[in-house]
Amino acid sequence: MPVYQQFVKQILNPLDLWRSGDYAEIRYLKEFERTQFLPPDELRELVWQRLHHIIDTAYRRIPYYKSVFDRAGLVPSDIKTDTDMLSVQILEKRDVQANLQTMLDPEFPKNRLIFDKTGGSTGTPVNYYYSIERKWARQAAMLRHDRWAGYDVGQRFASLWGAARDMPAPSWKQKIKSLIFPKTLQLNSIRMTPELMLEFNKQLKRYRPPVILAYANALALFAAFLKQQGVSVYRPKGIITSAEVLTPEDRKLIEETFGAPVFNRLGCREFSVIASECEHHNGMHLMAEGLYIELIRGSRLAETDETGEIIVTDLLNEAMPMIRYRLGDTASWVAGTCSCGRSLPRINNVAGRVTDFIVGMDNRLCSGVALATFIVSKRPSFGQIQIIQEEYGKILYRVGCGQNKPLQQHDLEFLREQTELYLGKGITIDYEYVDSIPHEASGKFIFSKSTVARKIFQ
């Protein structure tokens, strides 16, 4: 590692974290770097200690869970095995929406709480809180998993991700920080025209980031475009894909085009990184020290090689415990141990959100995940939304409104204004109201579907 990178990693970054009160992130990183290689029995013991602790805390301190356990006639000491967990009621996204205040520890210091909300692409937007401790653990977990792909603190980094149009101008503190720390090169997947994609390639060649993080679908489209153009392409050391389902065809296309291995990742806003690939690319290792993961089929646990719904219990968020949260994605277990030596269990065949690009008025391509993040999640009152595009210049918002009233006038105005901002003026918008938008039989939720975008690079 070059001297300046070492200086940033060993001196400047710890100083900056200490100054901002986030030094505990380094403590968590050291812990996670060690625990990933624990013998399987010891790792399991650690996970179960944390699981008992969070269940016990939830039962004693959180009104919502006291009532969930009481209704089921359970006490925390009844939970001794994976199978026992099945008797605890599943936490649906709508339960979190309806019980936000009673799920929060009433005595948790407000100045140590972080508020956040999910994007709209997984079905139902959710508001939630986590503790500042959890923030440090999340950041450390992310860094550990980034390091598997070849990234380290002090290195340059690029992301092909959605960036909001209304991002505030950087403060003077951020400007000074950007002079010291390598900046992230942000390539905005919210608007991908042929000219901009050629520019992205040039920027990557100039900046030379060792690792690129990208929406799986956005990077596949970028790869298909570069291949079609026949231009020379920047080759990083590693690529992290996330936020969308990565198909085997897209993985092959990305790896061939960029000449680098893809490290696929499952993450979400509620829990940050859930699982990601190591250098052996044989399934994704769970972030097991922070999350207890179940794969279930109805009322039983999935067998190895059987697809199950992913149920997540956050082991480290005492402020607002999330116990048995239905993520909305499916996966299967990978048997055996990984050659990398990490004992973190592995999952595979993840099926989650499916998002197509939507074609805007000047043939710009706009990532579905980005649309979900910057339009739908701004208004949790929207509930479920799906975007369908079957012809150029026109889109259909399908709204799953259940018992709620269809969109109000101010919602329609907001949608029109935001849609024109991202897709261009003059686009025709239609609406269709349905009771609910079901997940596909495979467990996938299709947020955006465009038959127009698929034709562009065929």
The angle that helices 24-35 and 132-148 make with each other, rounded to 10 degrees, is: 50
The distance of closest approach from Cβ of residue 285 to Zn ion in the complex, given in angstroms and rounded to an integer, is: 6
Among 278, 316, 369, 376, binds Zn ion (CB under 5 A): 278
Among 216, 245, 286, 338, binds Zn ion (CB under 5 A): 338
89: amino acid identity, one letter? Q
For 295-304, the CB contacts below 8 A with 24+ separation are 295/330, 295/331, 295/332, 295/333, 295/347, 296/86, 299/86, 300/86, 301/82, 301/83, 301/86, 302/332, 302/333, 304/332, 304/333, 304/334, 304/335
For 188, list phi and psi in degrees, rounded to 5: -90, 115
The distance of closest approach from Cβ of residue 22 to Zn ion in the complex, given in angstroms and rounded to an integer, is: 28
- Only segment of 6-14, 203-211, 219-227, 277-285 that touches Zn ion (CB under 5 A): 277-285
Please give the structure tokens belonging to residue 419: 């849609």
- Only segment of 29-37, 95-103, 224-232, 342-350 that touches Zn ion (CB under 5 A): 342-350
- Of residues 283 through 322, those in contact with Zn ion by CB under 5 A are none
The distance of closest approach from Cβ of residue 310 to Zn ion in the complex, given in angstroms and rounded to an integer, is: 19
* 86 contacts Zn ion (rule: CB under 5 A): no
- Only segment of 38-46, 98-106, 237-245, 278-286 that touches Zn ion (CB under 5 A): 278-286
- Of residues 190 through 219, those in contact with Zn ion by CB under 5 A are none
- Only segment of 140-148, 304-312, 334-342, 363-371 that touches Zn ion (CB under 5 A): 334-342
Among 38, 114, 196, 340, binds Zn ion (CB under 5 A): 340
Total binding residues for Zn ion by CB under 5 A?
Answer: 5
Integer angstrom CA distances of residue 143 from 196, 200, 204, 398, 400: 29, 25, 22, 38, 37
50 or 342: whose CB is closer to Zn ion? 342
342 or 364: whose CB is closer to Zn ion? 342
How many angstroms separate the most distant Cα atoms in the chain?
65
User: How many residues appear in the chain?
Assistant: 458
Mark residue 283 as left, alpha or beta (left: phi above 0; alpha: psi -120 to 50; beta: remaining). left
Distance CA 437, CA 328 (A): 13
The distance of closest approach from Cβ of residue 145 to Zn ion in the complex, given in angstroms and rounded to an integer, is: 11
36 or 330: whose CB is closer to Zn ion? 36
- Only segment of 280-288, 299-307, 377-385, 411-419 that touches Zn ion (CB under 5 A): 280-288
Tell me which residues touch Zn ion (CB under 5 A).
278, 280, 338, 340, 342
